[in-house]
């Protein structure tokens, strides 16, 4: 059974476009590794510019295995160069009963 994840990426100064490009292109390599499903992701932006992405892993085992996968480790290194990871609960939008975002 799949597992839906919510990832929040706060762009480093001047890295907004590089982050968006990475978000738009990182799922195909994960699919090629058999880690994420074909379900289309939802990508959106908060008022402070944080990018929120919702996507589906194939399984909890796939998530666990990602931590040792060289393709994933390379992607994570590329993400860390252009953003900080944010906890959803720290975003203002998630403080509302109905959170609203700008579609990306």
pLDDT tens-digit map of 47-92: 999 999 999 999 999 999 999 999 999 999 999 999 999 999 999 9
pLDDT value of residue 13: 98
Domains and CATH numbers, the chain: 3-103 (3.30.70.100)
Q: At CA 71, angle to CA 15 and CA 83, rounded to 5?
A: 20
pLDDT tens for 5-51 read: 999 999 999 999 999 999 999 999 999 999 999 999 999 999 999 99
Measure Cα distances from 30 to 14, 54, 76, 95 in Å.
Answer: 26, 14, 11, 31
> Is this structure's pTM higher than 0.85?
yes
- The per-residue pLDDT for 47 is 97
| Structure confidence at residue 1 (pLDDT) | 84
Residue 73: CB atoms within 10 Å = 12
């Amino acid at each position: 059974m799949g597992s839906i994840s919510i990832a929040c990426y706060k762009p480093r100064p001047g890295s907004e476009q590089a982050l968006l490009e990475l978000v738009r292109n990182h799922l195909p390599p994960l699919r090629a590794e058999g880690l994420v499903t074909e379900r289309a992701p939802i990508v959106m932006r908060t008022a402070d510019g944080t990018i929120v992405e919702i996507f589906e892993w194939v399984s909890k085992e796939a998530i666990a295995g990602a931590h040792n996968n060289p393709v994933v480790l390379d992607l994570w290194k590329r993400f860390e160069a252009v953003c900080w990871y944010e906890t959803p609960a720290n975003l203002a939008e998630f403080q509302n009963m109905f959170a609203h975002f700008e579609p990306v």
